[in-house]
Every structure is written in C-alpha cells, then in structure tokens.
A and B are shown apart, each in its own frame.
Chain A
C-alpha cells in the first residue's frame, strides 16, 4: 500500500515541477497549465491528509454497524469535500486565465510572454 509520506513527497515534487514550469515556460498557455499542476499538487496533498492506511471509504452501510471510536476505520471525508471545491475553483481560475490569453493574443498576435510589451510605458 501507499504510505501517506509518499503522497506528501509526491505532492511536493509536483508542486516544484509546477513552479519550475511556470517560471521557465515562455508560452502563456503552458504557464497556465503549470499553475494547474501546482493546484493539483495542493489538491493531492489535501486528499492524502484524509487518507488512513487500510481504511474504508466514508460511506455508512449496514455492515459497519454502530460507529464508535474503536472501529472508526474510515478515511476522513472532509478533505475530499474540500478538494472538490478546490478543483472547481481551479477550473474557474484557469477558464478566466484562458479568456485573458485570448484577449492578449488579439493584441500582441503572440502568446510568448517575452514579446508582450516589456517596453510599454504609460
């Protein structure tokens, strides 16, 4: 089975990969993708918190019987709920970002951020 620690390390690595991508890429769309990777990393981190080794999914059914502290072998549902919300928000952010990309492309005819008006001065 996967240990929690491996998930933590995995999410950290994913975070760093995302940041690296955001810093080094020239294409604006690629930067947005990298930022989505960063968000995914944080989502994985959140999910891994709720995960307990060898646990059941947090669904009440007849087999479980009465829930008490002794047989509470279910993973925590709250982080899962949080992650769902976070994913939705991430989608929203990306959508807005892509919208902005389209407008920027109409002005500059390129998505290369190095050519996006360094010398524009008001």
Chain B
C-alpha cells in the first residue's frame, strides 16, 4: 500500500508536469488531492497496526537494497501531522501559485518532496531512509530556487550543509552496516549501543557523523544561519513547509538513534561519564540546544524582514525541543515531541499569514507595512492566535507543550537549562509582539489603502489552523495519548493524563479549566468594553501638533508608524557580543575560491610550469621514499 502510494505519486507528479500553463490550478489540485490521499491512508492504517511492507528493489553485490516500510508509533505520528499540514499548505498554494513564476518546476519538485516525506517517516531501514533523505535535499533545492537569481545564494547555504550532513550520515550508516550486515534500523540501533560498550572511539566517530546531520538539519548553533537565508528567499507557501516540516527531519532521525542509546546508558551507567544522571554527550547536546535558542532569539529580535524573523523563531524553537529531548526524562521527551507538533502547527500558521500579507502587498520589510488588521481580519486573527501559541500564553497549544518542557527540565533538576529556555521564551514575546505590531497594528501606509483580504480558498487553511491551535490547547489529551504510545515503544513511563488533567512529578494542570478562566476573563473584559463610554474612531491624522494641522508640514501616516529599529536601544546593549556567523561561512567560501583560483591559474599557466611540476613531483615521490 505504501509502495503503491509512492509509485502513484511519482506518476502523478509527471502527469502534473504536462498540464498547460493556462489551467495551472489543475496541477495544484492534483497535488493537494494526492496529499489528501496520503492523509486518508495514514489515518485508515492507524497507529497501532504492525503493518509491514517490503519491496525488493534490487540486491546488488551482496547488498540487500530493498525498501522496507513499517508503521511505528513515532513514524506514524510524524507522518500524520506533517501530511495534515502539507495538505493545508497545498490548499493555500492553489490560488497562490496561479501567477507564480516557474510554478511548474516548483510543483514537480514539491511533489517529489511530499512523496519522500511519507517514505522517510515510514522507512524501516537505513537505506530507504537515506534515499528519501537525499531526495528531499535535492528536490527542495529546486523548490527554493526554481531558476531564480535572487534565492540562489540562499539555497546554497541550505544545499551545501544538507549534502555534507547526508554524506556524513551515509558514512556512519556504512560503518554500522559493516557490523550488522543489514540496514534494519532496530538491529543497527542495538549494534550502535553495543559499539559504545565495546569500542567507544569508533562509536564516537559514528555518533559524530550521525549527529552532524541533526545539527545541520535542525539548525543548531554553528549552523543556525541557513533557515534565515533559505526560508526568507523561498516561495512564500514553501517557507511554511521548510519551517514547519523540513526542519523536523533531523529531529526525527535523532530520536530514532540517540534516544534509545542515551536511555540505555542512563539505565546502565557503567564506564560512562554521567552528568546530572544523564550521559555527558546528552548533556552537551541539551546545552547546545539552549545556546541555539538564546542566540536565535537575539537574532530574531534584530531582524526587520518578517520571514527572517519567523525563521529565527523556528531556530529558537528547535533549541527548546533539543534541550527538552536530551534532558531524557519522560516529560522532557514527551514535551519535545508535543512541542514539535505544536511548533509545526503554529509556525505554518505564521508563515501562511505572512504569505497572505505578501500575496497582497508584495512587501516583506516590516517597517513598510502596518495596520493590516483592518484590511485582512482573518489573516490577522490567524497570526494573533499563532503568536499567542508561539509565546506559550495559556489557552492555546503552545502553552501546554512549553509547560511540559519546563516540568521535565525542573523535575530532572536542570535549573540553568530552565533559566536559559525561560530567557529565550521571554525574548519570543519581544520579537513576536514586534511582528504583530509592525505588520498588523499601527498605521496603514497610504499605498495599501486598497488591499483586500485574501481569496476564500486561501482562508480555509487558516480557519483550520486556528481551530487546531485552540482545540489542542483545550484538549491536549488526544495528542498526548498518541505521544504516550511512542513513549511505550521506547519503554519510558507514560505521561499521566486523565481527561484534560495532566499530572507531572511537580504539579498538575487542567487545560479546560485554564481555558475557561481565560475565556471568562476575556468575556469580562469584553463586557466592560461594551458597558463603557461610547468611543469614537479617530483617524491617525485627525490630530494637531503644536497647534497646527499635521497636513501643513507633510506628516503622513507612515511617519506615525513606529516600526523601524523597534528594539534599537536593546540591540545596542548587545553590540559588543555580536559575531557574524554568516560572515564566517562567507569567509570560508572566499578562502576556498581563493585557493581554487590559485590552482586554476597554476593549471592553465605557462608551458614551462608543466615540465617543472611534472619533474618536481616525480622527484618528490622519490624523496618521500627515501625519507620514510
């Protein structure tokens, strides 16, 4: 069934390629129909099934390279929410791509990407995993930059990092394969654990080559710059996929490999360095997550481009997730997975509303926007709910998962990590409020007076996303029950949940009660608003300055809109700590080009150099022989 799904996906993707430009909405309808099919099948299979499928691709030179698929609780959960969000995004794309440049190419490669998305999460062996991993890397190259000069540099950050990480992962896989003789994930994980007992040095080599992929794909500290480049320059609807889904692939693979390993070491800590009852390696990873989240928060506060801001916010969220995941308590792991899902939902909402604003205004610089709330109310409401959720304010879904993360960290006694997370979470308020203020509140520039709300088809996914955010916030038990089955498969104690009441080791929370309390206070405030004095709607220029009419000295609405360098003084405080990681990578690129240029000139040099070099290197070989 899964094979059939993937196979028909490939056929449909080629079919969609031949749709005429005039009827291009058909192409995107085929696209969303296919995603709907995937979603439907995922739901009908169900999480508890032990469905297994194998397809004998080839067996070449004693390598059994067959595609194996298995429904695991974790894989199923990831497939479900990614497919759901892809489906919502694809509905948005139908209208959005009508006049898009190179939409045929975007559609084709995006199709390949969603096919590999399903394949990646349901893969049962490392070879299948690698193939789909590679396909995703290559296809997202052309979705981000389908022959656009503007996004070419941005995509290269993403692409180079992703190729390096995938081939490091490949070398790790081959070392594991050498030990087990099979690509099966379960056996290889067991072998990986035993490798840590037998030959730790090799195991560390494997671990590093596997973890580089995680660092790169999830944009942890030294690699945290690519999302800001790639997400900002990608097609607007694809940015939501990049930020909500593609960034989670590294996380998925890390959960597969490292959680069993660390849990095993935690249980039998013989011969291992333990810090705070968790392995040292895990502790380092947790800290790198915390550092990433703090750095990304500051970068998000500084950025003026709204897509860049959202991208850095994604990086910060990946930081929380990493920290929670490697604290290795059951609450931490569950919180991490839950926050992964929640983050995907609210970040899709944020990016879709940004895409909606850009669809109407063609503007991404925040200080040039403003006052969109009156013109685009649905988009505004989506964005508002999404940032409430992202900041972790109570009645919405982000609150529950962040609460779980704090509980997990505090209950396993990581006060400093909690503090770091708390710091970046506070920073999240700052940049998210700034985005809300600069885009939707404030003064509407005159050139946007005729902006309308996006078409209804683009509003549908927004309504659904709002519904999801609110309902998961009120009834988290539906998701947490799914996560509990994941925890069971890793032999971790489940989250204690009764209806909507979650019990942690430290305290408990009932999300329905929280919701009722917040709604109650909101209604109270609304009643106060209604019974108060009648108000008059004042236009921004309906005022006087020093007794004069503003129109006399050319005051415009834009000048009233305070958005440029919003946190200027705050940024100024951190001037001395600023280092430019992008500049670092750029300098590496320049150096490589310099060395390459030197060799190029050397190669195409004079005729004499040819003989010289030939003889010199021949003599060098002989000298080498004499010296050694």
Binding site for B on A (CB under 8 A): 19, 22-23, 28, 31, 113-114, 116, 118, 120-121
Contact = CB atoms under 8 A, between A and B. Distances in A.
A113 B608 contact: yes
Contacts of B612: 23
A113 B615 contact: no
B607 interface: yes
A113 B607 CA distance: 7
B605 interface: yes
B608 to A, nearest CB: 5
Contact of A23 (B604, B605, B606, B615): B615
A104 B604 CA distance: 17
A21 to B, nearest CB: 10
B541 to A, nearest CB: 61
A65 B116 CA distance: 84
B615 A114 contact: no
B611 interface: yes
B611 A114 contact: no
Contacts of A116: 606-607
Contacts of B605: 118
Contacts of A121: 604
B85 to A, nearest CB: 49
Name, among A28, A31, A116, A118, the residue most crowded by chain B CB atoms within 10 Å (CB to CB): A118
Interface string B585-611: 000000000000000000011111001
A22 B611 CA distance: 7
19 contacts: A19-B615, A22-B611, A23-B608, A23-B611, A23-B612, A23-B615, A28-B607, A31-B611, A113-B606, A113-B607, A113-B608, A114-B606, A114-B608, A116-B606, A116-B607, A118-B605, A118-B606, A120-B604, A121-B604
A120 B606 CA distance: 10
Contacts of A113: 606-608
Interface of B: 604-608, 611-612, 615
Name, among B604, B608, B615, the residue most crowded by chain A CB atoms within 10 Å (CB to CB): B608
Main secondary structure of the interface of B (DSSP, over half): helix
A25 B241 CA distance: 65
A41 B435 CA distance: 80
A23 B607 CA distance: 10
B599 to A, nearest CB: 15
A57 B607 CA distance: 44
A25 to B, nearest CB: 9
A52 B46 CA distance: 89
B615 to A, nearest CB: 6
Nearest to A120: B604
Contacts of A22: 611
A19 B607 CA distance: 15
A35 to B, nearest CB: 9
Which 10 residue pairs of A and B lie closest in terms of their CB atoms, listed nearest first?
Answer: A113-B607, A118-B606, A22-B611, A113-B608, A23-B611, A19-B615, A23-B612, A116-B607, A113-B606, A118-B605
A121 B603 CA distance: 12
B605 to A, nearest CB: 7
A28 B611 CA distance: 12
A121 B607 CA distance: 14
Nearest to A20: B615
B101 to A, nearest CB: 32
Contacts of B606: 113-114, 116, 118
A70 B473 CA distance: 105
Contacts of A120: 604
B411 to A, nearest CB: 67
Given A28-B607, A113-B607, A121-B604, 7 more contacts: A31-B611, A113-B606, A113-B608, A116-B606, A116-B607, A118-B606, A120-B604
A98 B165 CA distance: 53
A121 B601 CA distance: 9
Nearest to A34: B611
A116 B605 CA distance: 10
Name, among B604, B611, B615, the residue most crowded by chain A CB atoms within 10 Å (CB to CB): B611
A116 B608 CA distance: 10
A31 B606 CA distance: 14
A118 to B, nearest CB: 5
Contacts of A31: 611
Contacts of B615: 19, 23
A16 to B, nearest CB: 10
Contacts of A19: 615
B77 to A, nearest CB: 55
Nearest to A25: B608
A120 to B, nearest CB: 8
Contacts of B604: 120-121
Nearest to A121: B604
A74 to B, nearest CB: 36
Nearest to B606: A118
B333 to A, nearest CB: 58
A15 B415 CA distance: 77
A121 B606 CA distance: 12
B159 to A, nearest CB: 27
Nearest to A19: B615
A113 B610 CA distance: 11
B364 to A, nearest CB: 40
A36 B608 CA distance: 17
Contacts of B611: 22-23, 31
A69 B607 CA distance: 52
Contacts of A114: 606, 608
B290 to A, nearest CB: 51
A19 B615 CA distance: 8
Contacts of B607: 28, 113, 116
A105 B399 CA distance: 81
Contacts of B608: 23, 113-114
A121 B608 CA distance: 17
Name, among B604, B605, B612, the residue most crowded by chain A CB atoms within 10 Å (CB to CB): B604
A6 to B, nearest CB: 23
A114 B608 CA distance: 8
A48 to B, nearest CB: 22
A116 B425 CA distance: 66
Nearest to A113: B607
B587 to A, nearest CB: 26
A1 B607 CA distance: 43
A32 B260 CA distance: 69
Contacts of A23: 608, 611-612, 615
A19 B608 CA distance: 12
A121 B612 CA distance: 21
A22 B608 CA distance: 8
Contacts of A118: 605-606
